[in-house]
Amino acid sequence: MGVVLETVGLTKAFGGVVAVSDVNVAIAQGAVVGIIGANGAGKTTFVNIITGYLKPDAGRIRYLGREITAHPPREIVGLGIARSFQIPQVYTSLTVLENVLIALVSREKASLRPWAPLSTRAREAAALAALEPFGLAEHARRPVTELPEGGLKFLDIALSTALGPRLLLLDEPTSGVSSEDKFEVMETLLRIMREREVTVVFVEHDMDVVSRYAQRLLAFVDGKVVADGTPEDVLADPGVRKAVLG
């Protein structure tokens, strides 16, 4: 399998704090990669740099062999990299369904059309299908503000999957989600992503989720990747145990 994403010497500092320090990672197509690390270890910064929200101070990012370093998020999304957010980023004045419909027109490159209706039968069906794995289809007509914390999280993820990415970056997908729903949704999500041959990279604090779903695990400490391997190996690493698990 080919490499989807490759970073070379990726570095980013905020003032005196080096958030990401010389990160060299290659991620294989179709892989499910977990990222762990203590708060402030640079996990989210890493995601922010890849998706173009932050410019790296040094280093390069290649996606499918193509240079995407410091390209704006909009362009990077257009190339097939979607992300979800640690704090759900949704449209709070709209309904659940409308949120997904906007993702779908964006994917179709039809989001600037001022005449044709947003909601069509085909698009609505696609939106409901995107909400289904998260148990949100039945709440589609509700205003987003009526969703509980976990529901918002799932909607945020549903929005990123609705964009039809080839690489999906999830920033703490299960934080704020009840422990009953956590595993079920991760399972369904990852099965669908596998069927679509989507590569998944997820930042996670829950070690049960990590060891169960990640095929490969990266551990960040002070902006550096200190361990890279199978979840068993990485979680057994004494350095990782000390820095990440406490």
Partner 1 sequence: MSGREGALALVAAAALVAVPLLLPGWVAFLLTLALAKSVVVLAIALLLRAGLVSFGHGMFFAAGAYTVGLLMKRVGVHEAVLLTAAGIVVAAAAAALVGLFIARYRGIFFAMLNMAISMVVYSVLLKLYWLTGGTDGIGIRTPVILGMTPDRESLRLAIYYFTLALTLPAFYVVQRFWNSALGFVLRAVRDNEVRVEYMGTSVYRSIYAAYVLSGGLAGLGGVLTGFSVGHIVPEQAYWTTSGEFVFVAVLGGPASVPGPLVGSIAFEFLKSYASKYAAFTWQMTLGAAMLVIILFMPGGLWTIYGWLARGGRRWAWSSKPSA
Q: What are phi and psi of 66, to 5 degrees?
A: -110, 140
Residue with tokens 């570095």: 11
Torsion of CA 188, 163, 215, 4, to 10 degrees: 160
Q: Is 14 helix (H, G, I), strand (E, B) or coil?
A: strand
Choose between 82 and 147: whose C-beta lies nearer to partner 1. 82
Query: From the CB of 92, what's the least distance to partner 1, in Å?
Result: 5
Cα dihedral sign, 69-75-79-82: positive
How much is the CA Rg of the chain, to the nearest whole Å? 18
Query: For partner 1, what does the binding mask look like between residues 12 and 51, x meaning CB under 8 A?
Result: ---------------------------------------x
Q: What tokens were used for 167?
A: 């690489």
Window 66-85: residues binding partner 1 (CB under 8 A): 72-74, 77-78, 82-83
Q: Identify the residue among 101, 170, 193, 219 touching partner 1 (CB under 8 A).
A: 101
- Tell me if 106 contacts partner 1 by CB under 8 A: yes
Query: From the CB of 158, what's the least distance to partner 1, in Å?
Result: 12
Window 130-189: residues binding partner 1 (CB under 8 A): 159-160, 163
Sheet with 17-28, side-by-side order of all strands = 17-28, 3-14, 58-63, 66-67
Q: What tokens were used for 198?
A: 């989507």
Query: Which residues sit opposite 63 in a β-bridge?
Result: 5, 66
Rounded Cα gap, residues 156 and 224, in angstroms: 28
Q: Identify the residue among 16, 117, 238, 246 touching partner 1 (CB under 8 A).
A: 117
Rounded Cα gap, residues 137 and 132, in angstroms: 5
Choose between 124 and 222: whose C-beta lies nearer to partner 1. 124
Stretch that binds partner 1, among 56-64, 103-111, 204-212, 224-232 (CB under 8 A): 103-111
Contacts of 68 (CB under 8 A, 6+ apart): 52, 61, 62, 75, 76, 79, 81
Query: From the CB of 47, what's the least distance to partner 1, in Å?
Result: 11
Window 200-239: residues binding partner 1 (CB under 8 A): none
Q: Identify the residue among 2, 16, 114, 238 touching partner 1 (CB under 8 A).
A: 114
Say which amino acid occupies 23. Answer: V
- Tell me if 98 contacts partner 1 by CB under 8 A: yes
Residues that bind partner 1 (rule: CB under 8 A) add up to a total of 36
The residues of the shown chain that bind partner 1, judged by CB under 8 A, are 51, 53, 72-74, 77-78, 82-83, 89-94, 98, 101-103, 105-107, 109-119, 159-160, 163
